[in-house]
Structure 1
Amino acid sequence: MDTFIDILRQYPAIALFLTVGTGFLIGKIRYRSFSIGSVTAVLLTGVLVGQLRISMSGPMKTVFFMMFLFSIGYSVGPQFFRSLRGAGLKQVLFAVIMSSSCFGVTLLIALLLSYSPGETVGLFSGSQTCSALMGVGGDAISRLPLADAIKDRELSIIPVCYAVTYIYGTLGTVIILANFGPKLLGGLEKIRRQTKELEAKLDENSWESDPACVNALRVAAYRAYRVENEFFKDGKTVKETEAELKSQGLPLYVDRIKSGKRIYAANADRIIHKGDTAVLCGRREYIVQDHGLIGPEVSDEKLLSYPLEKIPVLVTKRSVTGKTASALSGQRYMHGIIINSITRHGSNVEISDDTTIEKGDVLLLTGHHSRLKSAAVHIGHMDRPTTSSDLMFVGLAIFIGGVIGAVTIMFGDIPVSFGTSGGALIAGLVFGWLRSKRPTFGHIPDSALWIMNNLGLNVFVAVIGIEAAPSFISGIKEVGPMLLVVGAIGTSLPLLFGLWLGHKIFKFHPAITLGCCAGTRTCTAALGAVQETLGSSLPAMGYTITYAVSNILLVIWGMIAVLIVS
């Protein structure tokens, strides 16, 4: 056992993977409908592993935290900016009221128990999981007119009180919001159903990101017909056949021809004879109509087995802007290409012959690779799907966000900043929104986002548990177990008030209420746990604004608390 412990201390990365892996294993255990979830399990496992006094030095926690917040912002950026007009200001007001309740409850506890400024700062920062408050509060104490010995004692007690209250501040928030919150807001199954309904409203095809789902609707159809109509008794070219189909109101293309045992490409001058088999392609609503001109439909596996591509193309060319869908389809470079869908400002546009194409639209086109490549040159930018991530985009976006977040603006003696983690969140929101508007850069596959989200959050939580564990036990011995109790009260009461406030007064959607409470408490672990419980990233839409507002307000409240208590 001693050898095993020495290995973990010498190689802390191994201890980190042990914590994350064991946490996910425990998080999968269910008793009836109850499960603590991976985030809570990883945190508890980290606290246990941390008793071995393993040093987790370096910026690992910050790196994974920023990765997680960026992925959250990137995922919800488009919906977030669409919702700003309606719920944005309400969420700001919610953050102001709830952060004020955090301040009021903590200050009341400090005054009733006659806590010193250092104990108050530690209690406030730990119970509200606002680490930045420790630094600002400590700076405020250092400027108080106190003897140096008293100042040193007050400054040294801050991290001790922080460690004692921070464990429940994080764990309690996770449990209340992820386990009890849904029950208080109407029941877990009901909220999951409401969340899926809202997701469907925001993105009607959000389920398509599930790799287990396939769309029963096939807009672009490719079907084979045996040529028997007398129209072909003397042979007709592909061009003549397509012209005849179009004259009957059927804008379809001949894509392949089988004559005998040989298969030919459908060039314009290729002759189609009776007895041949031809593949027609076009939009579903046209191809399901009766094609007596050709003959009966047949199942020819060999003829229909060939590769096609379905690729989004961003409209940037002036020559395309303003054309109707029918006029665009009639262009020579669009021969054999089917417009599956048109997306405008993140929403699908209903397609008809009179639908006007606008600059910035994204056309989902189906056809042969060579034809799509040629058409994209005339339309705009082809955004070919890929399994690789644009790491240049990810790295520079987080860098820009981190720099912006690191900038501190002084309002008198009060420093105000979003912090590097808040900057990463803002960068994710902005660049995720830009990606939806101009999908010419910044592609991140869903699987890569899942890794950034889940691994980023759980590594961050694991490091928190491992780092806080040793000082948690020693801190209780030094300041007494009563601080643990009042810290739990300081954490729980504002949360319960916030759930009531969001549900009854602001009437937010339950998933948004849970996200707003996690954001106002600046508790990212709780956001991850709520998303895991609901199986949705929708709570992040309530987290982003409230996190940014509370990150600033809690620091200001902390400085005011120091002045009042002193």
Structure 2
Amino acid sequence: MAFVEQPVVALFISLALGHLIGKIRIGPVQIGGVCGTLFVALALGQLGVTISPDLKNTAFALFIFALGFTAGPQFFNNIRGGWRYGILSFVEVGTVLLLLAAAIIMFRLDPGTTSGLFAGSATESAVLGTASDAIARLALPAAEVARLQSNMATAYSVTYLFGLVAIVVFTTQIGPLLLRIDVREESAALAKQLGAEDEAGKENGVPEIVSRCFHAGPIAGSSVGAFENSVNGVVTIEQVGRGDGFTKATTDMVLEADDVVLVLGRRRAVIAISERLGAEVPMPAGDNVPLVEREVVLVRSEAMGRRIRDLRRLASAEQRRGVFISRIRRLGHVVPALPGTVLEQGDVLTLYGSEDAITRAAPELGHLLPATSSTDFVMLGLGVVVGLLLGELSFRVGALNLTLGTGGGALVSGLVFGWLHMHRPHYGAIPLHAAEFMKDFGLATFIAAIGLSVGPDAFALLKQYGLVLPVLAILVSALPAVASLYIGHYLLKIEAPILLGAIAGQHCSTPSISALVSLAGNSTPVIGYTVTYAISNVLLPLMGPVVVGMVGLIG
């Protein structure tokens, strides 16, 4: 066993076996690699294996900074303008704090157990980092601090699975039952309302963009621009075939009877306008228009809060010609790029069209993302250091001595640096996949270190509370969702698929949104999920020190 007891070996065994266990699926529920890692680390921790606290703190700082960096663009926008969905995140936080206060009074929970219950029930692992840091700052002996942190890890490992199952079952089964709806039917109707085609939903609700050739026929004698304006710009004549070859179309080009026009647009629009043209003809080999995709981050204030179909009003006829939004990425999730989809600041739009058209249109929306796979370590190092400095600040509110700590400081720093990068994407780049690795590896390493540090105290906690923790986990997970369901439906009038997605987001539950999208048959629930996810992913970790302080006040 000496080999296994080496810290590096124990760490990577925890990561490997933990993520293997995390792949086990029971129905729509999958515990995930983070919780699986904790289970394995708890077992190995009984051998006396420990990991340096410096590695644990480094891993968490890396994770929480990357979390803030990726959430920054959407977080500030949603706080400012996404209140209709974002208010549910505040419902989540307020309800959870009330339930935790009741549990503290009824069961005399200590700060570690309460923090673990909070993190596990809300399935927000980042709470462990901010709460652990707050516990370490308490004026207690080192042995007592270690015991409380052990209780936190144990309570989290017990409550996480129950909290996860509760929110998945609620969003996919209980919520629709209470609303008396069929999620698939409601989602299909909502997608159609947003402008989806009849067959929308096959691939994230995104209509296919096509190019087809027709004889000019009835539109001969009119200009290209006049024809495009007559169909409200839903299609573009990209090229005109005349004589022996094709030439690039311009708005003032007058079409002749024998011309062949290459029309570019969404499939439904192309089919709709084909009746106004002559017979369809095959595209001659070698004359296909070169179409490309480019990603642009949306920063133009006039475009934010507008639907895709309304963007043409912001640009001239020439600027909008031949460019289509084929995909929207928001917080790493694909949002349906339908004509009725509302755009938000920080959205990454995939533009589809000719190189010239995209180059012309992109500056009207924001900044083209550079094609880079390199991480700017200057920005990364500076951002983490700034976060650690912020974490050293503290202030008193009554009897509470509040501080952001390592986790809160790095989170706030990540939010600011992510927002700055959105406006200057050529500086301080952390590619999406690099940021995801930082989050996954940093959190898993931190969780493994927590689990390995837990000793026999874990079993003492389980004996003390028994079934109390699982029952509390279900209540703390489900009751905020119930409150949000009725507030969102009756007061905020949120469409049912978006509301259920927002409830999954306020809980930061990726398994819930995955199960919900599968049930819905399209990605319309993601519209609500991304707003509340961005806000809750920041608010919940910041509540870690608050919960620890709350126990001291009312325990």
TM-score category (smaller protein):
0.5 to 0.7
Candidates 217, 223, 228, aligned match of 2:207: 217
Evaluate the alpha carbon distance shift between residue 271 and residue 53 of structure 1 in structure 2; reply closer, same or farther with a 3 A threshold: same
User: How many angstroms does 1:327 deviate by?
Assistant: 8.2
The 1:467–1:408 alpha-carbon spacing in structure 2 relative to 1, beyond 3 Å, is same
How many pairs align? Answer: 490
* Residues 62 and 460 in structure 1, CA contact (< 8 A), matched pair in contact too: yes
Identity rate of aligned residues, in percent? 21
SS at match of 1:300: coil
**In structure 2, distance between residues paired with 1:247 and 1:125:** 60
In structure 1, the residue matched to 2:464 is: 486
Which of 291, 307, 310 is the aligned partner of 1:307? 291
- For 1:115-514, list aligned pairs within 5 A: 130-132=131-133, 134-137=135-138, 139=139, 155=141, 157-159=143-145, 161-162=147-148, 165-180=151-166, 182-183=168-169, 187=173, 213=203, 216-218=206-208, 221-226=210-215, 241-242=223-224, 245=227, 254-258=237-241, 262-266=245-249, 277-281=260-264, 287-289=270-272, 295-300=278-283, 302=285, 303-304=287-288, 306-312=290-296, 325=312, 328-331=315-318, 334=319, 336-338=321-323, 340=325, 366-376=352-362, 379=364, 381-384=366-369, 386=371, 388=373, 391=376, 396-411=382-397, 414-428=400-414, 447-468=433-454, 472-473=455-456, 475=457, 482-486=460-464, 491-492=469-470, 494-499=472-477, 501-503=479-481
AA paired with 2:549?
V
Q: Which residue of 1 aligns with 2:16?
A: 21
TM-aligned CA deviation for residue 177 of structure 1: 0.6
Distance 1:431-1:293 versus aligned 2 partners, 3 A rule = same
1:182–1:510: 8 Å Cα contact kept in structure 2?
Answer: no
Residue matched to 1:548: 542
Q: Summarize the Cα distance change of 1:54–1:88 in structure 2 as closer, same or farther, 3 Å threshold.
A: closer
What is the DSSP-based 3-state SS (H/G/I as helix, E as strand, rest coil) of the residue aligned with 2:238?
Answer: strand
The one-letter amino acid of 1:338's match is V
SS of structure 1 residue aligned to 2:290? coil
User: Displacement of 1:510 after TM fit?
Assistant: 7.5
Provide the secondary structure at the position in 2 that maps to 1:325. Answer: helix
Q: Tell me how far apart the structure 1 counterparts of residues 22 and 184 of structure 2 sit (CA, whole Å).
A: 22
Task: State the distance in 1 between where 2:387 and 2:205 align.
Answer: 37
Q: Taking structure 1 as reference, are residues 296 and 487 closer, same or farther at Cα in structure 2, changes over 3 Å only?
A: same
d(CA) in 2 for partners of 1:98, 1:38 = 28
- 1:307 maps to a residue whose letter is L
Q: What CA distance in whole angstroms lies between the structure 2 residues aligned with 1:449 and 1:317? A: 26
Change (3 A) 1:455 1:282: same
Q: 1:68 Cα deviation (Å)?
A: 3.6
> Post-superposition shift, 1:486?
1.7
State the secondary structure of the residue aligned to 2:315: helix
Partners of 1:436 and 1:255 in 2: how far apart? 32
Q: Any idea what the Cα deviations from partners look like across 1:392-421, whole Å, max 9, x if unmatched?
A: 665555544443233122457743112221
Please list the CA deviations of residues 117-168 of structure 1 after superposition, one character each: whole Å capped at 9, or x if unmatched: xxx677667777642454344x1x5xxxxxxxxxxxxx35414633653442
Q: Distance in 2 between matches of 1:263 and 1:185?
A: 53
CA distance 1:224–1:402, change in 2 (3 Å): farther
Distance 1:510 1:362 in 2: 24
For 1:448 and 1:494, the matched residues in 2 are separated by: 37
Distance 1:247 1:504, change over 3 A: closer
Whole-angstrom CA distance in 2 between matches of 1:330 and 1:350: 21
TM-score (norm 2): 0.66
Task: Report deviation, 1:172.
Answer: 0.9
Equivalent position amino acid for 1:383 in 2: L
Change (3 A) 1:359 1:40: closer
Task: Work out whether residues 297 and 346 of structure 2, in 8 Å CA contact, stay in contact via their aligned partners in 1.
Answer: no
Supply the AA of the counterpart residue of 1:422.
Answer: G
Equivalent position of 2:40 in the other structure: 45
1:489–1:292 distance in 2 versus 1, CA, 3 Å:
closer
Please report how far the alpha carbon of residue 297 of structure 1 lies from its aligned counterpart in structure 2 after TM superposition: 1.3
**Which runs of 5 or more structure 1 residues have no equivalent in the other structure?**
110-119, 142-154, 206-210, 520-526, 562-566
Question: Is the 8 Å Cα contact of residues 45 and 451 (structure 2) preserved in structure 1?
Answer: yes
Residues 14 and 37 of structure 2 are in contact (CA less than 8 Å); yes or no, is this contact kept in structure 1? yes
- Where 1:224 maps in the other structure, the secondary structure is strand
Give the deviation of 1:104 after TM superposition.
Answer: 1.7
